[in-house]
Amino acid sequence: MTAAPAVAPTRTSWIPRLAAVAAVAAANALVALVAPLLGADLVVAPPGQDPATVSVGAFAVFSAGFALLGWGVLALGERLLGRRGLVIWTVAAVLITLLMVVPPLSAGGTVATTVVLELTHLVVAAVVIPVFWKSSKAA
């Protein structure tokens, strides 16, 4: 009697990644809900534009949207470049996070609103980058 060949278990990357997308959308919606209690009116007035309030829904949609965009770019990089694609994506994600510090500073909001906007960028990066890295089949 011969033993069946051992099959290496495969990791499913989409489940933790989808959970990360949902988590950042929910977390940033919660931040937006709590922000007025901390003095942030969430009104921005970029130069040359009328003041507008950033809605809770916008926080959730943009957080999820950019997390999904990052997921798509990572999946493409993993497919085309393997581990090297994961490393390139990680470096790019960190650099983009650092660059995303600038837009809230020029959004024309109060200090509290600016802090909330900066925090939401960090929430996305703090959740998405490590979860996407750990769930990569290339890691």
Rounded Cα distance, 79 and 77, in Å: 5
**131 membership: H or E segment, kind and range:** helix 111-134
Distance between CA 24 and CA 63 in Å, rounded? 6
Task: Lowest mean pLDDT of 2-6, 29-33, 102-106, name the range.
Answer: 2-6
* Domain range enclosing 102: 14-33+54-134
Is 47 part of any domain?
no
User: Residue 124: inside a domain, yes or no?
Assistant: yes
| Residue 40 counted as domain residue | no
Which pTM was predicted? 0.87
AA identity, residue 16: P
Tell me how far apart the alpha carbons of residues 26 and 28 are, in angstroms, rounded to a whole number: 6
Q: Hey, what are 115's tokens?
A: 């802090």
Q: Is 105 exposed, middle or buried (0-12, 13-18, 19+ CB in 10 A)?
A: exposed
Q: How many domains does the chain have?
A: 1
Within-domain flag for 38: no
Assess if residue 92 is contained within a domain.
yes
74 domain-assigned? yes
User: What pLDDT, on the 0 to 100 scale, is given for residue 78?
Assistant: 95
Condensed to tens digits (0 to 9), the pLDDT of residues 17-38 reads 999 999 999 999 999 999 999 9
